């Protein structure tokens, strides 16, 4: 099948994928642009999963001060090489992550990093709330489990819906950048200040 170069360029602009990957995706989907975007995203997520175990010791520390100077964030985002750390795509990701943290005031990067005392405290509160509703024990367990999932979604950066596109989580945003930039990327740490 002969694919028009304009469609290949449009797909490249839309996804940031390489020219040959775009052409292959368009051939595989008989020139359907939307299906090609989906195919590239699926391929990118698969590639990103393979890169997730590689060491990320380079990166950037980025500061974001919200208008008015009453709120600020420092965030460390790591990648594998300083070359990628200097790219516009990586800098854009780091900026977006800082804004995410400023807007949502998370507790930690991931659920594994949430302090154990806080987890126990939240579980106790949710258990008491469920018991007060006089539900059976099996139902109470499900209620507490569901509320804890919601707690993690709201308080762990990676599980939060991305504020600029709530159809994806921050983790999915990072995986998209991993697929695009070809390196493992992770959030090292962050701190948020508010007057």
> Domains of the chain, with CATH numbers?
5-51 (1.10.8.10), 58-109+156-194 (3.30.479.20), 115-154 (1.10.286)
Q: For residues 190 and 76, is the Cβ–Cβ distance under 8 A?
A: yes
Per-residue model confidence (pLDDT) at position 11: 80
Per-residue model confidence (pLDDT) at position 99: 96
Does residue 59 sit in helix, strand or coil? strand
Per-residue model confidence (pLDDT) at position 158: 95
In sequence order, what DSSP letters do the residues of 94-130 get, joined into one string? Answer: HHHHHHHHHHH--SBSSGGGS-HHHHHHHHHHHHHHH
The answer for residues whose C-beta is within 8 angstroms of residue 158's C-beta and 6 or more apart is: 109, 110, 169, 170, 171, 174, 187
pLDDT tens by residue, 5-33: 888 888 877 766 667 778 888 888 888 88
Q: How far apart are CA 133 and CA 149, in angstroms?
A: 20
Per-residue model confidence (pLDDT) at position 15: 67
pTM: 0.70
Q: Which residues of the chain carry a pLDDT beneath 70?
A: 1, 15-18, 44-55
């Amino acid at each position: 099948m002969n694919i028009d170069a304009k469609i290949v360029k449009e797909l490249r602009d839309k996804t940031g994928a390489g020219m040959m990957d775009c052409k292959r995706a368009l051939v595989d989907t008989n020139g359907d642009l939307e299906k090609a975007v989906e195919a590239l995203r699926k391929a990118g997520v698969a590639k990103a999963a393979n890169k997730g175990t590689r060491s990320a010791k380079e990166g950037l520390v980025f500061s974001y001060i919200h208008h008015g100077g009453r709120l600020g964030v420092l965030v460390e985002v790591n990648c594998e090489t300083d070359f990628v750390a200097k790219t516009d795509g990586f800098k854009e990701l780091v900026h977006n992550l800082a804004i995410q943290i400023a807007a949502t005031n998370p507790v930690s990067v991931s659920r594994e990093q949430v302090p154990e005392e806080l987890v126990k405290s939240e579980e106790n509160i949710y258990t008491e709330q469920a018991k007060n509703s006089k539900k059976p024990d099996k139902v109470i367990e499900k209620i507490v489990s569901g509320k804890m999932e919601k707690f993690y979604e709201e308080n762990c950066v990676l599980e939060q819906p991305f504020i600029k596109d709530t159809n994806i989580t921050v983790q999915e945003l990072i995986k998209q950048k991993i697929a695009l930039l070809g390196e493992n990327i992770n959030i090292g740490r962050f701190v948020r200040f508010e007057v």
